[in-house]
Amino acid sequence: QVQLVESGGGLAQPGGSLRLSCAASGSRYSLRNMAWYRQPPGKQRELVADISSGGSTNYADAVKGRFTISRDNAKSTVYLQMNSLNPEDTAVYYCNVKYETSYRTVLQYWGQGTQVTVSS
């Protein structure tokens, strides 16, 4: 059974930094895309950043230049370094991973979510 263990959320002051981690385990298939989404209070879930198995990255306009997504394939772990945080970054952050089976089927899994609050 696939498990995604997220860590690193919490409270930060405006202008501060936090680093999120998400470790995936339990699948025998090939780990492909890894991503972070967030859901601000009262709003829909949105993509923050994603990274392919080859290291190509994509960012939402709101976080470009402030957030950096990276991955450690040996550890099946994805990271999100968040700098210059502002109150609009307050949200529950979710890890998302996609595996590809030998039949080219994509299996998607979500983490449990970690709260990030930016406030003075």
Chain CA centroid to CA 107, Å: 17
Chain CA centroid to CA 10, Å: 15
Comparing 103 with 89, which gets the higher pLDDT? 89
Phi/psi at 70 (5° precision): -150, 170
Residue with tokens 């709260």: 115
Q: Which residues contact 46 (CB under 8 A, 6 or more apart)?
A: 37, 38, 39, 40, 60
Per-residue confidence (pLDDT) for residue 102, from 0 to 100: 86
- Considering the chain, what percentage of its residues have pLDDT values greater than 70? 100
Does the pLDDT of residue 110 top 90, yes or no?
Answer: yes
Instruction: Please give the Cα distance from 46 to 120 (Å, whole number).
Output: 24
Mean pLDDT of 26-30: 91
